[in-house]
Amino acid sequence: MSAVAETATGTVWSAPRASAQAFPMNGEFLTKDQTNGHRRAIRLWLYAVAAMVLAMVLVGGATRLTESGLSITEWQPVAGALPPMSEAQWLSEFHKYQAIPQYRELNKGMSLDAFKSIFWWEWTHRLIGRLIGVVFLLPLLWFAWRGWIEPGLRARLWLIFGLGALQGAVGWWMVASGLVHRVEVSQYRLATHLVLACVIYIAILWTALRLGETARATMPARLRAGAVGLLILVVGQIYLGALVAGLRAGYIYNTWPLIDGGLVPHAARLFSATPAWRNFFENVLTVQFDHRMLAYVIWLLAAWHVTDVIRHARQGPALIGALALFIAVTLQAVLGISTLLLVVPLPLALLHQALAMVVLTVAILYAERMTRHAKQTIFRAAAAVPTSSRA
């Protein structure tokens, strides 16, 4: 049944009762249960895609640490989905790799079996990227065809798909930088590739979380800003970590808390390159020092933020989230120091990259929770529907 109101012209307008609330979608009304079901399906799909993006980042880290990223010297988005199937095809791929500087200067004399081991890392990394594209696009088209996607959400999902397509191009742009004049990829392009993956991961996970029905208690602006600020700083730290990796800076200055003989290196060594801005991207000492300093800043801010949250709410989800983020940041700092002191052993380096993504995930979950308002509209109210009835 509906509540009825009569206008001056005699036209009756009908609005659904709360017990049978309906919502407009593509010109039709859906019940709240139907809308909830559609959102739940989309949310689960986005969680699955986010998990695949996370797996791709981790495999990408292993690909970099095993020096496997240049083992495939061509970009074939379709044909490259199949690995070599015969000995002749394997030899063809190996000969292409032998023509680049990395083989000639670092891996000269490598056996075919050794080449296969690095080839599989890069091929797997690219395969996951292709699968992400398929797993994102096909359900997106199906949900759109079924009319399950709301207008605002539709634009956001297509934007995420566009970022994913851009990421494929950026990945090849990165690989291409190491095929002619270098034995490794450009640290600029490596950092861009990794941060774009993080941006895509944030967009997917944030969108999925916002499709949930649970409203959050409104938090003071200071706490909301702190949660978002920590998320931004974590992304910045991942960028600096990529520069460190690209320059192999972790293999140098393997002391802590001192670096180059002091807590703060001499300015002449920190700014030895000209113009000065290049030191922040190309000077091994400066890049590693910046990575350390930002780690200290994040840890201190996370600790201060926890105490601030405790003053506002002594219990509840906000405090749990702030503590979880602080603990994750602390573990990552300890692991980073251990990795440095032990001169970047492969297991610790892989774990350090994996934990970085854990920190990012916790920061996303916490920032989303803190910035969602209690009064945020989860479902849009139905518009009044005219009928032809007269009093």
Residues 6+ apart with CB under 8 A from 73: 96, 97, 99, 100, 175, 179
Q: How far apart are the first and last CA of the chain?
A: 17
Closest to 362 (Cα-Cα) out of 201, 239, 136, 236: 201
Q: How confident is the model at residue 383 (pLDDT cuts 50, 70, 90)?
A: very low
pLDDT at 374 over 60: no
pLDDT in tens, 23-64: 455 545 556 666 778 899 999 999 999 999 999 999 999 999
- pLDDT at res. 299: 98
Which pLDDT belongs to residue 220?
85
For the chain, the structural domain boundaries read 32-203, 214-376
pLDDT surpasses 80 at 378: no
pTM of the model: 0.87
Q: In the chain, what are the helix, strand and coil shares in percent, each to the nearest 5?
A: 65, 5, 25
| Residue 191 reports pLDDT greater than 60 | yes
Contact 112, 88 (CB under 8 A): no
In DSSP notation, 334-355 reads: HHHHHHHHTT--HHHHHHHHHH
Please tell me the distance from the alpha carbon of residue 366 to that of residue 319, in angstroms, as a whole number.
10
Name the nearest CA neighbour of 73 among 97, 104, 107.
97
Q: State yes or no: pLDDT of 298 exceeds 90.
A: yes
Q: Which residues contact 354 (CB under 8 A, 6 or more apart)?
A: 58, 61
- The Cα–Cα gap between 176 and 186 comes to 9
Q: Are 294 and 237 in contact (CB under 8 A)?
A: yes
Residue 345 backbone zone (phi > 0: left; psi -120 to 50: alpha; other: beta): beta
Name the residue among 270, 272, 267 with its Cα closest to residue 285: 270
Q: Is residue 347 scored above 60 in pLDDT?
A: yes
In angstroms, the CA 80 to CA 73 distance is 11
* Average confidence (pLDDT) over 144-166: 94
Among 317, 249, 313, smallest CA distance to 287 is for 249
Residues 6+ apart with CB under 8 A from 366: 227, 230, 231, 321, 322, 324, 325
pLDDT of residue 209: 94
Q: What pLDDT, on a 0 to 100 scale, did the predictor assign at position 24?
A: 52
**pLDDT (average), residues 165-178:** 95
How confident is the model over 316-324, as a mean pLDDT?
92
Say if residues 228 and 391 touch (Cβ distance below 8 Å).
Answer: no
pLDDT digits (tens, 9 = 90+) for 55-97: 999 999 999 999 999 999 999 888 889 999 999 999 999 999 9
